[in-house]
Amino acid sequence: MKKYLKLAIIISLVSAGGIHIVRRLAPDEDKQREQAALKRLFPQVQSFTEKTGQPPCYEGYIINDQAQKELKGLCFLTTDVAPEVKGYAGPIKLMLGMDTKGILTGIEIIKHHETPSYVWGIEEPWFKEQFKGKSVYDAFRLGEDIDGISRATVTVSAIAEGVRKSAVRIGRERLGLEIAETEENPWLSVDYLPLIYLSGLLGMALASLLLKTQSWRIVSLGTAIVLVGFYHTDPLSSVNLINILTYRLPGLARNPFWYILAGFAILSCLLWGRVYCGFICPFGAVLELLEIVKAYRLKLSQRLEQRAKYIKYIILWLIVVAALVLNNANVGDYEPFSALFTQAGNWLDWSLLALAIGGSLFIPRFFCRYLCGVGLGLGLISKYSLKQLEIKENCRKCQNCKSACPYGAIEVQPGGALNINPVECIQCHICLNNCPQGNIGR
């Protein structure tokens, strides 16, 4: 039965991957949205050509007073003209309208893969309106020419840069305008302070992992809540996992924080296991803090626990298949991280947050155990980690470690032998201190 289930999952993932590739390569995927955007950007234009020329543009014409066809303006996609500009999750597809003097008639968002719960503001009319009337000679500086959206800085600055670069290139190459070079080194505008804090946090996490000290782990978790949770509001999410799978990544200079965090999470998984969950994830840290006020510790039987853990497999499978088939990573945006750290979310986010917090009062890290796609993704990588935690052979089977593990990661095998499940283990090392034989190690 298990064999057939595995086969069905593999077939569904491969098929979804195939559909994803076909959809991604299909040129007409967003045709309808582009046609609607053309009309909004140039309502007075009577006819548009197909995309033509280099860089490619839709040319908009009117019939003038002399009954002649007159070029009124150009519409173009940032992904055609400045594809190197990336937001949080790859290129952001915007359509720009520009008249023949290089004045923007507006921008329309055709498609993006940014996490919706953080960037909902970019779809608001006020945000798009501020580009209307801007000229190719403007600087499009965030905070000066363009108002940002709090907690969506990476996305908004990518939009501003994509608009400026595309407008300048079209102005020069299609309209023959003379525009001075204003290229800036993107690394000069990086905010290095959070990177320094993050390096400190990762160093502290590594030190506490290697020295096996609980007190440092608690300090790491507390720091992560403040830095990764409330300050940078950027914990890893299932949308990130899907974007990595589908190779939709942010520009390195635009989001080095994310690269360091995601790189650390994956590398540490390959070496030891889910160190990210045990030391860095701010949401897991908040749930772990609830241990202090634990109302009542509910202990599920091993059978029930193992079944409940399959819920997160179903969730991850569903969102990965849906994201691949729909070519939209945002279907994976279900975790309540943004509700907690940015206080912005929909009814699903708030309900899941209440469930995660309420559940954790009875079962430690309730959300991590049963519902988190990121934790499962990292857990699946941890199956192949080089230095897994193991219970050594001369174990007396006293089960002290199993009782001490707050996360149900130690399982009793048929015959009574104990095994640490690398998919579930968050590397907290609590079991190590509870083995009277000192029998647990890597």
CA distance 167 to 96: 8
167 versus 374: smaller Cβ distance to ligand SF4: 374
Using alpha carbons, select from 117, 116, 96 the residue that is nearest to residue 107: 96
Between residues 37 and 426, which has the closer beta carbon with respect to ligand SF4? Answer: 426
Q: Which stretch binds ligand SF4 (CB under 6 A): 131-139, 201-209, 250-258, 368-376?
A: 368-376
Residue 391 makes contact with ligand SF4 by CB under 6 A: no
Q: CA 289, 373, 254, 339 torsion: positive or negative?
A: negative
Of 78 and 237, which has the nearer Cβ to ligand SF4?
Answer: 237
Per CB under 6 A, the list member of 38, 159, 275, 281 interacting with ligand SF4 is 281
**By CB under 6 A, residue 239 contacts ligand SF4:** no
Burial 407-419 (b: 16+ CB within 10 A, else e): bbbbbeeeeeebe
Stretch that binds ligand SF4, among 63-71, 107-115, 299-307, 428-436 (CB under 6 A): 428-436
Of 251 and 284, which has the nearer Cβ to ligand SF4?
A: 284
Should residue 331 be labelled a site residue for ligand SF4 when binding is judged by CB under 6 A? no
DSSP β-bridge partners for residue 116? none
427 binds ligand SF4 (CB under 6 A): yes
Q: Is 140 in the site for ligand SF4 (CB under 6 A)?
A: no
Ranges assigned E (strand) in 259-397: 390-391
With binding defined as CB under 6 A, does residue 430 bind ligand SF4? yes
CA distances from 122 to 154, 157, 197, 219, 290 (A): 12, 11, 29, 36, 35
Q: Which two tokens stand for residue 388?
A: 């897994």
Is residue 427 left, alpha or beta, with left meaning phi > 0 and alpha meaning psi from -120 to 50? left
- In sequence order, what are the beta bridge partners of 97? 75, 106
Applying CB under 6 A, does 264 fall inside the site for ligand SF4?
A: no
353 contacts ligand SF4 (rule: CB under 6 A): no
Distances (CA, A) of 202 to 83, 117, 125, 216, 217: 33, 26, 40, 12, 11
The site map against ligand SF4 for 309-328 (x = CB under 6 A) is --------------------
Q: Does 229 engage in binding with ligand SF4 (CB under 6 A)? A: no
* Amino acid (one-letter) located at 430: I
Which of these ranges, 28-36, 87-95, 294-302, 426-434, lies near ligand SF4 under the rule CB under 6 A? Answer: 426-434
Give the 3-state secondary structure of residue 31: helix
Pick the piece of the chain touching ligand SF4 (CB under 6 A) from 49-57, 135-143, 296-304, 370-378: 370-378
Contact call for residue 308 and ligand SF4 (CB under 6 A): no
Structure tokens at 15: 């098929």
Strand 410-412 to strand 58-63: parallel, antiparallel, or no bridges (unpaired)?
A: unpaired
Of residues 45 and 269, the one with the C-beta less far from ligand SF4: 269
48 near ligand SF4, judged by CB under 6 A: no
Where on the chain is the footprint of ligand SF4 (CB under 6 A)?
277, 281, 283-284, 365, 367-368, 372, 374-375, 389, 405, 407, 409-410, 420, 425-431
